[in-house]
């Protein structure tokens, strides 16, 4: 196996310490098995039922039974919505899928001291799986990160370093440590993280008896969730399992919407923006790692990029809670776009929204 730049095609051996291509974009893995239904392990309920479709590594996975989250299909405002309850993951967010595979790979390589920068959930996931796999984990998090997430990270035994200032300051601090020789287990760029998160889309298709939904609606910060879903669905399409892609709707906070700006201007890639303040703390990313790739997913699938205000986000969060679904504000961002989506979606269509993070982490 090797890594290959998702944008320019430049290659490196798998054991490279380079965490991104010289062109600034993330690598993907070459040599991942092609999607085949026959390769699914039917007796395994976690995401490890897809182990033979994941990049191979030596030894046992570092796992807590992540994946296998419910898909609730319900009527909301005359539309058919499918909520994928990712907040039920061991550390409380979809990031556990990526962390489980990434930590499994790192451990198999004997890499036991790693760091990452995170707005909270990825840091918590890495800290949790690091604890489970015996890795020392250091997380650089913006000091404004909700307290519950910071406490969660240090409770797992990770070294938690709060960084004053906006989100990029945490990345800068992490990169300084990387320049000093530390291993950068970056969830935003690691191809292993993306492959782990790709199981979310495999699972949705399986839960729908391989009948693809019409639409997918995502919150987007760096775009690892959008990118991994696009990767998974194009793979299933290449395997002849889908005749068309579900439409990708990418939703951002109006306070930080570089993807919307690029979409509205017809740009192929995003340009860095300065994030404003928003309750959607998980997606305040001014320069997303997967920006051009998300734009491609939207374009190729016939979807759109939308933005929502904090008021709509909090109202959507409360509506979900009144139906028993307690998620953090960032995770209510897709539902907050429902009124804008209504004009684009027919009542007969099925629209799937991942509910990405638990309400106990941030409110």
Ligand X SMILES: Cc1ncc(COP(=O)(O)O)c(C=O)c1O
Q: Where are the beta strands (DSSP E) in the chain?
A: 2-5, 11-13, 27-30, 71-76, 79-85, 113-117, 136-142, 159-163, 183-184, 215-219, 247-253, 304-308, 350-355
Shortest Å, Cβ 282 to ligand X:
3
Binding mask 221-240 for ligand X (x = CB under 6 A): xxxxx---------------
Q: Is 249 helix (H, G, I), strand (E, B) or coil?
A: strand
Exactly one of 91, 152, 284, 331 binds ligand X (CB under 6 A); that residue is 331
* Rounded-to-integer distance, Cα 362 and Cα 141, Å: 15
Other residues' Cβ atoms within 10 Å of the Cβ of residue 349: 15
Residue given tokens 């913006």 in the structure block: 142
* Residues between 7 and 26 with contacts to Zn ion, criterion CB under 5 A: 7-8, 10, 21, 23, 25
Nearest to 357 by CA among 191, 169, 148: 148
2 touching Zn ion, by CB under 5 A: no
330 touching ligand X, by CB under 6 A: yes
196 touching ligand X, by CB under 6 A: no
283 touching ligand X, by CB under 6 A: yes
Number of residues in the chain: 363
Q: CB under 5 to 8 A by kind: which of Zn ion, ligand X, none does 220 bind?
A: ligand X
Q: Which is closer to ligand X, CB of 122 or CB of 231?
A: 122
Max CA-CA distance within the chain?
Answer: 55
Exactly one of 123, 191, 219, 286 binds ligand X (CB under 6 A); that residue is 219
Shortest Å, Cβ 82 to ligand X:
17
Shortest Å, Cβ 24 to Zn ion:
7
Q: Which is closer to ligand X, CB of 78 or CB of 171?
A: 171
* Rounded-to-integer distance, Cα 335 and Cα 332, Å: 5
- C-beta of residue 286 within 8 angstroms of C-beta of residue 257: no
246 touching ligand X, by CB under 6 A: no
Which residues sit at the interface with ligand X, rule CB under 6 A?
93, 119, 121-122, 219-225, 282-283, 328, 330-331, 356-357
Which residues sit at the interface with Zn ion, rule CB under 5 A?
5, 7-8, 10, 21, 23, 25
């Amino acid at each position: 196996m090797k890594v290959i730049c998702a944008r320019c095609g430049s290659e490196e051996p798998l054991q490279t310490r380079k965490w991104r291509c010289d062109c600034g974009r993330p690598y993907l893995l070459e040599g991942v098995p092609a999607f085949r239904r026959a390769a699914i392990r039917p007796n395994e309920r976690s995401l490890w039922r897809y182990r033979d479709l994941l990049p191979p590594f030596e030894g046992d996975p570092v796992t807590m039974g992540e994946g296998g989250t419910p898909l609730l299909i319900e009527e909301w405002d005359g539309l058919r919505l499918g909520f994928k309850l990712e907040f039920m993951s061991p550390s409380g967010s979809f990031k556990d899928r990526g962390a489980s595979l990434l930590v499994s790979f790192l451990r198999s390589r004997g890499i036991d001291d790693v760091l990452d920068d995170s707005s909270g959930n990825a840091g918590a996931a890495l800290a949790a799986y690091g604890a489970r796999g015996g890795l020392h984990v250091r997380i650089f998090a913006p000091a404004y990160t909700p307290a519950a997430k910071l406490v969660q990270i240090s409770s797992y035994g990770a070294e938690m370093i709060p960084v004053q200032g906006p989100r990029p300051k945490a990345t800068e601090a992490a990169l300084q440590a990387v320049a000093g020789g530390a291993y950068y287990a970056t969830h935003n760029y690691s191809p292993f993280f993306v492959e782990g998160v790709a199981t979310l889309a495999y699972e949705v298709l399986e839960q729908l008896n391989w009948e693809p939904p019409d639409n997918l609606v995502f919150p987007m910060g760096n775009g690892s969730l959008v990118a991994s879903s696009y990767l998974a669905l194009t793979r299933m399409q290449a395997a002849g399992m889908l005749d068309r892609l579900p439409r990708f709707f990418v939703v951002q906070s109006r306070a930080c919407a570089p993807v919307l700006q690029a979409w509205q201007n017809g740009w192929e890639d995003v340009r860095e923006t300065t994030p404003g303040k928003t309750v959607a703390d998980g997606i305040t990313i001014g320069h997303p790692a997967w920006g051009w790739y998300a734009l491609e997913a939207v374009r190729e699938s016939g979807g759109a990029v939308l933005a929502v205000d904090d008021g709509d986000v909090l109202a959507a969060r409360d509506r979900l809670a009144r139906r028993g679904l307690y998620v953090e504000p960032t995770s209510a961002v897709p539902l907050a776009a429902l009124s804008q989506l209504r004009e684009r979606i027919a009542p007969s269509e099925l629209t799937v929204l991942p509910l990405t993070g638990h309400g106990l982490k941030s409110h």
